[in-house]
Amino acid sequence: MSGTDPNSIAGLLDDDAIELLVVHCSDTPDDQPLRARDIQAMHLGFGWDGIGYHRVIGRDGLCEPGRPEYWRGAHVRGVNDRSLGVCLIGRHDFTAAQMNSLATLLAEWQQRYPQARIVGHRDAVETHKTCPNFDAAAWWRRRRTRDAGTSMTVCVPSLPIRRDPSDRASLDTEALYGETVEVIERAGLYTQVRLQTDSYEGWVRSDGRLHPCIPPTHRIAVASIHALSAPDVKSPALLRLSLGGLVSVCDTTGDWHAITLPDAGTGYVPTHAVMPVESQEADFVGVAERLIGTPYLWGGRSAAGVDCSALLQLALQAAGIACPRDSGPQFEWARTRIGTSTVVPSQARRGDLAFWPGHVGIFQSVDRFLHANAHHHAVASEAASDALPRTDAASQAPATILRLGVDQPD
């Protein structure tokens, strides 16, 4: 159990070889607040090369480094060449802070070593030991599914929803302030959620961006507005709200609505900036036009940036029409919707939709076209005679123009 020289090739751990993430306990009295330095001294006293664990989690939840992760550990005889080890200080009564830190660490490790299984020392090899004195694998399974089915409210201006539990994963969409998500699974730093608005599923950071549900009464009807700390334009801004965001109005003073914030505080927005959630806009194209100039952002759905399908979705939602999030499903939804017809460009009118593989835009009139696009890097209104041929060429396919049967102002 002494380990090996970290400067030798034999002493190095191969990332691809990590098969086990092993949970240990120090088997010391629960009221003894040891630190990593104490374990280091203990293991040196055993004649080892130093601390055998890669991480040590104290009674207060502090997760301290031990042996470097590139160096083979000395924590489970027979599997040290294919495992990492973490030690909880204590014997039986581990603190909530320790278990929260353990969950965070294991989630981080699983991202880096996705092939690795989480086990306790007692389950890593055949042994008479009971360390860590609980079923670590079963605990991890329960932890990952904790709070499944719970509905939560987004309490930040926009919440990135990513394809995988990593900040480096692609941005698939965003949840807006006040929207509701259902928790599917928790995994340390990340939570898998389902967005109630359109059933989109993905991963978000588990860092206080979700709050118990606050039933909304109004939705944001302008491209962007700041919630202020008082009903006064000179008061400090609290947060930025985007078109489609949801708020709970608790009082009205003159031209200001007071809204309830997740921390039980109060913010203020001008009355013209919101509409009751049950109301519907008469002209969805007019809603989309409010976002002209908004930066283009793949996966974006807020005033900070939108993509083509988010522009359409936000506009239709304001008119009381629910549609899918992405352009491909939007095309199938529009094509099969009762009352939809196909038109040619010369017959296009306000509210008609043009679809290409991976792109969608909205006719403002027969000769004006609105879309969030990477050519302008923004939501742009341009001549249809420019937009359609250019996008046809980029897509290597002509547009399919669909009329939804929704009445639009001329």
Distance, in Å, from the CA atom of 187 to the CA atom of 147, rounded to the nearest integer, reads 11
CATH number (domain holding residue 361): 3.90.1720.10
Residue 49 in this model has a pLDDT that exceeds 90: no
Final residue of a structural domain among 143, 169, 195: 143
Distance, CA of 275 to CA of 366 (rounded, Å): 30
**What is the mean predicted confidence (pLDDT) over 112-130?**
89
pLDDT at 63 > cutoff 80: yes
Determine the Cα–Cα distance for residues 351 and 364; give it in Å rounded to an integer: 6
Q: What is the mean pLDDT of the chain?
A: 92
Average pLDDT of span 57-83: 92
Q: 124 with 18, same domain?
A: yes
Q: Are residues 309 and 382 in the same domain?
A: yes
Task: Say yes or no: 110 and 30 in one domain.
Answer: yes
| Whether the Cβ atoms of residue 176 and residue 245 lie closer than 8 Å to each other | yes
Is 101 within the bounds of a domain? yes
Residue 409 has a pLDDT of 59
CATH code of residue 272: 2.30.30.40
Decide: residue 342, CB within 10 A, 0-12 exposed, 13-18 middle, 19+ buried.
exposed
Task: Output the six-digit token pair for 364.
Answer: 């403002």
Q: What is the pLDDT of residues 146-166, one digit of tens each?
A: 667 788 999 999 999 999 988
Please tell me which residue in 25, 43, 53, 54 is annotated as part of the active site.
53
Quick one: 327 and 235 in the same domain? no
What separation, in Å, do the N-terminal and C-terminal C-alpha atoms of the chain show? 81
Residue 166 makes CB contacts below 8 A (sequence gap 6+) with 111, 190, 203
Separation of alpha carbons 232 and 384, rounded Å: 43
Same domain, 130 and 201: no
Looking at 258, 276, 294, the residue that finishes a domain is 276
Residues spanned by the domain of 261: 218-276
Q: Name the nearest CA neighbour of 124 among 81, 163, 67.
A: 81
Q: Domain tally for the chain?
A: 4
Residue 1 confidence (pLDDT) above 80:
no
Please say if the pLDDT value at position 315 is more than 90: yes
Average pLDDT over residues 43-62: 92
Q: How many residues are recorded in the chain?
A: 410
- Per the confidence metrics, is the pTM higher than 0.95? no
Is the domain of 33 the same as that of 124? Answer: yes
- Does the active-site annotation cover 131? yes
Q: List, for residues 236-263, the tens digit of each pLDDT value.
A: 999 999 999 999 999 999 999 999 998 7
CA distances from 41 to 38, 86, 132 (A): 5, 17, 21
> What pLDDT is recorded for position 209?
87
Q: Which of 129, 211, 375, 376 is catalytic?
A: 129
Q: Using CA atoms in the order 214, 216, 220, 226, what is the torsion angle rounded to 10 degrees?
A: -30
- What is the rounded distance in angstroms from the CA atom of residue 20 to the CA atom of residue 188? 18
pLDDT digits (tens, 9 = 90+) for 327-375: 999 999 999 999 999 999 999 999 999 999 999 999 999 999 999 999 9
Considering the domain architecture, whether residues 346 and 230 belong to the same structural domain is answered as: no
> 3 in a domain, yes or no?
no
Task: State how far the alpha carbon of 309 is from the alpha carbons of 191, 313, 355, 359, in Å.
Answer: 25, 6, 10, 7
- The confidence score (pLDDT) of residue 10 equals 54
Q: How confident is the model at residue 108 (pLDDT cuts 50, 70, 90)?
A: confident
Choosing from 43, 54, 121, 359, which is the catalytic residue?
Answer: 121
Indicate which residue of 25, 87, 131, 155 is catalytic: 131
Active site annotation includes 121? yes
- Three-state SS string across the chain, please? CCCCCCCCHHHECCHHHCCEEEEEECCCCCCCCCCHHHHHHHHHHCCCCCCCCCEEECCCCCEEECCCCCECCCCCCCCHHHEEEEEECCCCCCCHHHHHHHHHHHHHHHHHCCCCEEEEHHHHCCCCCCCCCCCHHHHHHHHHHCCCCCEEEECCCEEEEECCCCCCCCEEEEEECCCEEEEEEEECCEEEEEECCCCCEEEEECCCCEEECCCCCEEECCCEEEEECCCCCCCCEEEEEECCCEECEEEEECCEEEEECCCCCEEEEEHHHEEECCCCCCCHHHHHHCCCCCEECCCCEECCEECHHHHHHHHHHHCCCCCCCCHHHHHHHHHCCCCCEEECHHHCCCCCEEEECCEEEEEEECCEEEEEECCCCEEEEEEHHHHHHHHHHHHCCCCEEEECCCCCCC
Lowest mean pLDDT among 96-105, 266-275, 352-361: 96-105
Question: Pick from 167, 184, 212: which residue ends a domain?
Answer: 212
> Does position 84 have pLDDT exceeding 80, yes or no?
yes
pLDDT per residue as tens digits for the range 161-191: 999 988 899 999 999 999 999 998 877 688 9
Q: Is 226 a catalytic residue?
A: no
d(CA 326, CA 229): 36
On whether both 155 and 139 belong to a single domain, the answer is no
How does residue 280 score in pLDDT terms, banded at 50, 70 and 90? Answer: very high
Phi, psi of 88 (to 5 degrees): -90, 130
Residue 9: pLDDT over 80: no
pLDDT at 377: 98
Q: Which band of pLDDT confidence, cut at 50, 70 and 90, is reported for residue 410?
A: low
Structure-token match 């090369």, residue found: 49
Residues 110 and 185: beta-carbon distance below 8 Å: no
> Any catalytic annotation for residue 53?
yes
pLDDT of residue 351: 97
Same domain, 104 and 161: no
Question: What's the CA gap between 240 and 273, in Å, rounded?
Answer: 12
User: Quick one: pLDDT at residue 281?
Assistant: 96
